[in-house]
Structure 1
Amino acid sequence: MKAAQYDAFAARYDAENASSMLNAHYERPAMLSLAGEVRGRRVLDAGCGSGPLAAELLRRGAVVTGLDASPAMVELARRRLGDDVPLHVGDLAEPLPFADDSFDDVVASLVLHYLEDWSAPLAELRRVLRPGGRLLLSVNHPNVRVFNFPQEDYFATREYVETLELDGQPTEVTFWHRPLRAMTRAFTDAGFTISLVEEPEPSPDTPPELLPPRIVSGERSAFLCFLFFVLEAPAL
């Protein structure tokens, strides 16, 4: 997806991200839980969007830098985070405007599944992480496509389009499906060690009216939606 497409629905995406079940009560709490104690840590929010995750990391004491390909998203993030937080318009497929070993952590929240090629972005994220640093990321769970579209080839890396409701309006969004084995191969080829793979439950403070009925009833404790990884840049 091109930055101009994000620009076109930036305000609607921001509104949806702020309060939706999948963003506010599932993905973002899970990312923060994986991050743990971040006070004093230098964190790059790669694909920061309008800045809700960066705002929470700041509140927890992290030293945050944001980057996003969409100028409209970066402008929304600037309004949310203030002028003291460094924010950059930049494409993860291009060299990043940071020196080697600049960050203790990188968070890439629901970003990589928009990209066809992961090798260049992962190499750059590895470069800007200090030895021993972490890359925490979330992507669309590849098994969801198998359940919803069993006729598709799970093992093929391919583009697909979904129509999402963003602040009540249907919006076409383009993603790239890749199987789990392609994800893990890309991580290790970039020099990362995979330290954790997670399929979290919804946050316990999720309003019941937002939860699927089978979760509310206690029949299920979780559902498949996003897949989370914690990767480590090996120490010297």
Structure 2
Amino acid sequence: MPTHPESSAGAAGVVAENDYDSFAEAYTAETETNLLNAYYARPAIVNLAGEVTGRRILDAGCGSGVVSAALRDRGAVVTGFDRSTKMVELARQRLGGDAALQVADVTGPLPYPDGAFDDVVAALVLHYLEDWTAPLAELRRVLKPGGRLIVAVNHPIIFKIVHPEASYFATSKWSEEYTFNGQKAVLTYWHRPLHAMTDAFTAAGFRTAVISEPPPAPEAHELFPEELDGRQAFLSFLFFSLEAVQG
């Protein structure tokens, strides 16, 4: 999610919602070095992952492979998938033609055996989905017992900030129009309250180990002085580290 949603969805000349194939290159260029993605979400994910040398990690919804690259640089054995063919192409350009990447959809059966991974990362993926039941079941299936699912989603307070008249406690669909590197696009999300998230994790066989609302990376204050003037932290995404319960 970019720093500032520009308007509600539906303007003429804007591509269909969540059609990442149509704006993959623009999105990648915009988020490569911006505040929310490069200096907030990604370092938060990497920090939650911690020491990953030798760990088999699945990057679910890998996009253009930036998180995969960061984890691989730290010694992880990374596999990734995304539903966007163009995003997978960009990830291959970043990670190399022999990278273990493929087109797949988190809402359907995943092409991996049971217990194949030590960790799964689902960064800015689940908030696009109305129903988390089947995706969480699949992510749990491909994790070994005791493995971790590391999640980043829109912070639930964002929906109430954008739509103060709406119910925080309802699961609600909402859209925003953005400009990525000069190209307009629409992203559509599903808001759910915090307790609905944790209930879904528990029902899928996960134990919530960490809920994090981290500050941005330290260097962000020098790079984005206006955005962070007088602020040590801000609310945008919510981060979880979940343990796959044995049994």
TM-score range relative to shorter protein:
over 0.9
Deviation, 1:88, is 1.2
Q: Could you tell me whether the CA contact under 8 Å between 2:18 and 2:186 is conserved in 1?
A: no
Question: 1:230 maps to what in 2?
Answer: 241
Instruction: Evaluate the alpha carbon distance shift between residue 227 and residue 117 of structure 1 in structure 2; reply closer, same or farther with a 3 A threshold.
Output: same
- Which has the larger helix fraction? 1
In the alignment, does 2:206 pair up with 1:195?
A: no
Question: 1:216 maps to what in 2?
Answer: 229
Structure 1 unaligned spans of 5+: none
Q: Percent identity?
A: 56
TM-score if structure 2 supplies the norm length? 0.90
Which of the numbers 71, 74, 89 marks the counterpart of 2:85?
71
Distance 2:192 2:131 in 1: 10
Residues 123-146 of structure 1: CA distance to partner in whole angstroms, max 9, x if unpaired?
000000001100001000011121
Q: Could you tell me whether the CA contact under 8 Å between 1:145 and 1:154 is conserved in 2?
A: yes
In the alignment, does 2:47 pair up with 1:33?
A: yes
Q: Within 5 A, what are the aligned runs for 1:172-191? A: 172-191=186-205
Deviation, 1:108, is 0.5
Question: 1:204 maps to what in 2?
Answer: 218
Structure 2 unaligned spans of 5+: 1-14
Matched positions, count: 233
Question: Aligned Cα RMSD in Å?
Answer: 1.7
Question: 1:81 maps to what in 2?
Answer: 95
Q: Could you tell me whether the CA contact under 8 Å between 2:123 and 2:153 is conserved in 1?
A: yes
Residues 113-132 of structure 1: CA distance to partner in whole angstroms, max 9, x if unpaired?
01111000000000000011
Q: Could you tell me whether the CA contact under 8 Å between 2:17 and 2:187 is conserved in 1?
A: no
Deviation, 1:81, is 0.4
Q: Secondary structure at the match of 2:112?
A: coil
Q: Could you tell me whether the CA contact under 8 Å between 2:171 and 2:193 is conserved in 1?
A: yes
In the alignment, does 2:160 pair up with 1:149?
A: no
Distance 1:10 1:127 in 2: 29
The AA in structure 1 aligned to 2:37 is N
Deviation, 1:76, is 0.5
